[in-house]
Amino acid sequence: MRNSRGRSFQHSSGMVMEKESKIYVAGHRGLVGAALVRALKREGYENLLLRTSKELDLTRQADVENLFQTEKPDFVFLAAAKVGGIHANNTYPAEFISINLQIQTNVVDAAYKNGVKKLLFLGSSCIYPKEAPQPITEESLLTGPLETTNEWYAIAKISGIKMCQAYRLQYGFDAISAMPTNMYGPHDNFHPENSHVLPALIRRFHEAKKNDAPQVVVWGTGSAYREFLHCDDLADSALFLMKSYSGLSHINVGSGKEITIRELAELVKEVVGFEGELQWDPSKPDGTIRKLMDSSKLAAMGWKPSIPFKLGLVDAYKWYVQNYDV
């Protein structure tokens, strides 16, 4: 098997993801899911099982079980989740923990019971302790308190990792987990209140540019550092792991490069072409001050990201203008 970069793999378990394999991408309309569909199609995988949230509510156990019993997918990419930024996590803690726990539990359990060959669960870097040593290794999981602004989502994602590990240990189910850093790109969530920092900045600078606003106010001090990875790079890494990795540990997926929120805001301002002033509101939270992933395990397997950040940012802004600015 070869991916878009010419590498060839076989599972350690001997299972190969053939071109005709039926592959279920849960959450295919989201940032990561849409990138996975693009990557799979680029590599010639056409037998894709896709359902919108209107067609299938993943929080309904009976409906999920019915899908797996009827369709019998061979491989599953679990990219469906309720996601959002600091404001959304603070506003909807019950939804963030309950909906994500339900989705994960229903999909992983139904996949195992219906003979899925392999499942890849996608989490988030927010699973790690707020004060984890930098860069953050996989071994930092559960070694300290979480960042309070997103602990409900983080606890759900930690449960997803542990569920995959438990099903591997008890049933021998080939379930693996990948923990990406902050994602961005086409199909991101650009909601004015519930989005993450990068899409929120794109939207605010674009609207300010359109309305000839004199300034844009950004939360916090701008001193926090963030690492970003384009969703197409993550999708490539997910296919790489699905084909080549079978183990108990979750695997970090990052770019290895970090940028301050202040630098990020200036770069988004430049890409969007906003000519006004940039002001900071230090009364608002910065979130975790630094959160750089140690992705050396993945690098040692032979995978590295390839999309330069500014180029990816231009791509994300272009998609926003084409799909939101209507």
- Catalytic positions, written as ranges: 153
HEC sequence for the chain: CECCCCCECCCCCCCCCCCCCCEEEECCCCHHHHHHHHHHHHCCCCCEECCCCCCCCCCCHHHHHHHHHHHCCCEEEECCCCCCCHHHHHHCHHHHHHHHHHHHHHHHHHHHHCCCCEEEEECCHHHCCCCCCCCECHHHCCCCCCCHHHHHHHHHHHHHHHHHHHHHHHHCCCEEEEEECEEECCCCCCCCCCCCHHHHHHHHHHHHHHCCCCEEEEECCCCCEEEEEEHHHHHHHHHHHHHHCCCCCCEEECCCCEEEHHHHHHHHHHHHCCCCEEEEECCCCCCCCCCCECCHHHHHHCCCCCCCHHHHHHHHHHHHHHHCCC
